[in-house]
Amino acid sequence: MQINLLPISPVSDKIPISLYTEKADSSQAYCLYSYECPEWWRQHPEFSNQNEMYFSFDDNTTLKEQAYKTTINLYEAPHIACCYFKHLLYNYFQNHAAAVGTDYTGNPEIWIKDTMQPDPETTRYLKFSLAPRFKNMSAGFELMVSFNGYSETYNRSIAEIDIDPASYSKVTASGKIIKYRLLTPEHKNQITRIFPVINRALVRHFGLKGQRTKPANKYVHTYEKISAFCKDYLFVEDFNILNIQSKNFLPVPKNRIRKVSDNSNVLMFGNNQTDRAPQDGISKYGPFMPTPRNNVKFFFIAHRRDKDVTAKLYNIFKEGYEKTVNPDTGEIKYKFKPIAEYIKQPFITDKDGNIFFESLLTAKKEISTQLQVKKFEKNYFYMALYIGSENDPEIPYDDIYFKIKELLLEKNIISQTIMIDFLNKPNFESYLQNIATTILAKIGGIPWQLKPEQKQNDLIMGLGAFKSEKTGKRYIGSAFCLNKNGIIQNINCYRDNDFNYVLADIHNALGYFIRENREPERLIIHYRNDKKNKDAKFIADMLFRLDLKLKLFIITISKTKADTIVFDGTNDKMPLSGTIIPLNSNEFLLYNNSKYKEGDPCDYLFPIKVKIEKINFDRNSTERDASKITESEATEMLNHVYQFSRMYWKSVKQQNLPVTVKYPEMIARIVPHFSDAELPPFGKTNLWFL
């Protein structure tokens, strides 16, 4: 196996830097800590009480203060070396690429004009990140080369278009990708050469095609793009700012390759039958457990113009989709069997109880009025089937979707959206299978669950954050797994500054867990994105006050497609599912796909990056101590992540993110759109958000 790292070395081991006490208003200013340059601090005792300075590789003439000068040995200060390499790369590619910016972690992002331009109104670019590293897979410096996909710019400049700049946050100007708000007067001297970067708002405003490249194998596509970039831009004579010591990616040492535990991908279906693939298992054996509710009623909500679609869907759910009968044997087959057989629950509808509205613009008011007079039987659990479309000209789909979802939750009604857009697509039966699985989960059934194992007494919590475009505020969704089978039971959502409510949820979940089981041995928290140390300290302090003798593990799961990827020697280049590549003592690459043996048909899911930290519960420290995580603990934590990714009930396809973070983020995406930006009480006890 090879990893997308190239071995590199600096052209010169020592470089001069300029130090300042204040931070420059520049992306080229970095932070220098006293332990990285102790000799300079010894020479300047006046800064003995200051543990950090700011530095740049060029004199910053915009600052009033005089720069201090020193020389750095790059091999003795790898952090500074990596900053220096970024500086060199950024400046070099300003003259050798279409545009240069920075990715979400601050590494140079290189934009190369694509040879294929599918839309005459835009210009498409391929994006590559260059990230210097030190001793990830070798004994020296390394350069990570990542393919970040595609971006487009509009072919008319900001001088030619009439649209609020808030609609396009980034532009290309003077060969750089920068935020619009950071444009300088110097940039605007060339205003006819400043082009907005395409986003969803511009696609809608200008009616652009929004074409995407969808290769059959995303993994091979990524390998080919990275290899071509290296050949055309790094393995050339002009690239002389760094020494590239080999034109081959670094090999992954065999002793660094691990795997999850055997049977971690085994799922339980009906009659205790097992399978690894949700789609196969539920088709052959049925769901693990139907809902305990015997009285469930369904009714439709739709635009009046879609009344015939409602009738068609009713017939599909009642009779099945594309039923065929073998004339010789009488055997009946369906592309999608009647939903009652699929969910093991009678499909009982509320006769004459469907709700039809005249306009999407007034839908909420119309539906609310009809719900007020609709008769609901007390002993029934109701589910609304809303017929919608993402391409409706009246109103954006999300606007009406959120309003209807909230309105029904306030009435203690679960809802499921069925998109008209899928009716005539060739994979309609797969879409129906996803819908049926989700309906089963929402009415309280269990489509499948993890195979029971002997494990420690753990309470697992997931947190996922999402910043709402509507409010500009960040929200945190939470979910708890209170049993050993991977079933999510408690959910909630809070504003980011309401972390005390998250602590209260943990406190309540611990109390419930102790009553139902015993005191947990470990509290394991899955984060979708990095949290500040203070959050972990808050949790630790609370546990100390409760005097619980347990271990706290913080599992951070990478928010975006992993920048680090490994290629094996197979045709599809993708390692087998469950492959683990340690990147350092507490950070791991986890392959979480459905490729269980060579040649398996599968979706090409990229690996996820998982960081594992542990807080030791001694009275003298509440700090994170990653060095004390054992290999067996790390493997067990990765097993949890791997298994929980198989408990996603919105689709029968494998996911690469665990539900412990995927579900909370789904909640955090929706709740900010509710009228009070709060989750109604009924929504805290079921999977309404699927």
* Percentage above 90 pLDDT, the chain: 46
Q: Which two tokens stand for residue 634?
A: 């790390």
Strand order in the sheet with 267-268: 274-275, 267-268, 449-450
pLDDT of 492: 81
Backbone torsions φ then ψ of 446, nearest 5 degrees: -125, 100
Do strands 608-615 and 551-557 pair parallel, antiparallel, or not at all (unpaired)? antiparallel
Residue 326 burial by Cβ neighbours in a 10 Å radius (0-12, 13-18, 19+): exposed
Backbone torsions φ then ψ of 40, nearest 5 degrees: -65, -40
Query: Considering the entire predicted model, what is its pTM?
Result: 0.88
pLDDT of 316: 93
Number of H helices, E strands in the chain: 15, 33
Instruction: Tell me if 267 sits within 8 A of 649, measured CB to CB.
Output: no
Q: Which amino acid is at 534?
A: K
Q: Mean pLDDT by 10-residue block, N- to C-terminus, for the chain (690 residues)?
A: 95 89 67 85 88 79 70 90 94 95 90 93 96 93 95 93 85 92 90 91 81 80 95 96 95 93 90 92 94 95 93 93 80 86 94 90 92 91 91 68 90 93 85 95 93 73 72 74 68 74 78 76 78 59 70 80 85 92 90 87 87 70 57 90 92 89 86 82 88
Q: SS3 letters for 327-347?
A: CCCCCEEEEECCHHHHHCCCC
pLDDT one-digit tens code per residue, 209-227: 766 777 888 899 999 999 9
| DSSP at 470 | T
pLDDT of 453: 67
Alpha carbon distance 519, 510 (integer Å)? 8
pLDDT one-digit tens code per residue, 399-427: 788 889 999 999 999 999 999 888 888 88
226: helix, strand or coil: helix
CA-CA distances (angstroms) from residue 621 to 500, 502, 539, 617, 627?
A: 21, 22, 13, 7, 14
pLDDT of 62: 59
Q: Which two tokens stand for residue 16?
A: 């001069």
Hey, what CATH class is 290-442 in? alpha beta
Angle between helices 363-373 and 397-410 (to 10 degrees): 20
Q: Integer distance in angstroms from the first to the last C-alpha of the chain?
A: 37
Residue in 49, 63, 73 with CA at minimum distance from that of residue 19 = 63
Q: Which amino acid is at 666?
A: M
Name the residue with tokens 């970024």.
86
Q: Which two tokens stand for residue 287?
A: 């769901």
Alpha carbon distance 213, 384 (integer Å)? 36
pLDDT of 293: 93
pLDDT one-digit tens code per residue, 66-85: 778 888 899 988 999 999 99
Alpha helices in 517-645 (DSSP H): 533-546, 631-644
Q: Which neighbouring-strand residues pair with 123?
A: 153
Domain boundaries, given as residue ranges, for the chain? 2-251, 290-442, 449-684
pLDDT of 339: 95
Backbone torsions φ then ψ of 556, nearest 5 degrees: -100, 125
Rg of the chain in Å (alpha carbons) = 28
Mean pLDDT of the chain: 86
Hey, what CATH class is 449-684 in? alpha beta
